[in-house]
Amino acid sequence: MTERSGGCVCGAVRFKTTAELSRITICHCTWCQRRTGTAFGTEAVFNSDEVEITGETVERYRHLSDESGRWLDLEFCAKCGTNLGFTLEAVPGVRTLPAGAFDDPAWIRADRYKIRHVFLRSKRDWSELSPLVEQYEAHFRK
Ligand SMILES: [Zn+2]
Ligand SMILES: [Zn+2]
């Protein structure tokens, strides 16, 4: 059995997955940019019954799509606000976990899993490592 664990930054919410993920979706849509505060959302997609969430209560925010009218429940830690993925009315039985919230995200590798980048039409030009960006191994302020 493939077990992997993760959780929020304050430790109040923990999760465990008991099977392999089905894919990774990296979404560059402007809505994911806003909900994550970054250039994209990185969602590890699992069957809901292969994810166990423990600890304190997870908060949910229901977003209704103005296009489809369907809901999407964003989940996050009530204490520290860490993104804990979402469930979608459109895809029952499936949930996402943010790839960066695993204790050891190093197992998520592009040569091992199907990784799809979607909504590239709104991709930010500062979100890729092109020769035009300055690159530092650690923070630039020493
Ligand atoms: Zn927390
Ligand atoms: Zn998105």
Q: Is residue 14 a contact partner of residue 53, using CB atoms and an 8 Å limit?
A: yes
pTM above 0.75, yes or no: yes
How far away, in angstroms, is 9 Cα from ligand 1 center? Answer: 5
Q: Please name the residues in contact with 109: beta carbons below 8 A apart, sequence gap of 6 or more.
A: none
How far away, in angstroms, is 44 Cα from ligand 1 center? Answer: 19
At residue 140, the pLDDT reads 80
pLDDT, tens digit only, all 142 positions of the chain: 689 999 999 999 999 999 999 999 999 999 999 999 999 999 999 999 999 999 988 999 999 988 899 999 999 999 999 999 999 999 999 999 999 999 998 999 999 999 999 999 999 988 888 888 788 888 887 6
Most distant CA atoms of the chain, gap in Å: 49
User: Ligand 2 (ion): which residues have CB within 5 A?
Assistant: 27, 29, 32
Structural domain spans, the chain: 4-55+93-122
The three-class DSSP label of residue 97 is strand
How far away, in angstroms, is 32 Cα from ligand 1 center? Answer: 20
Which one of the ligands is nearest to 39 CA? 2
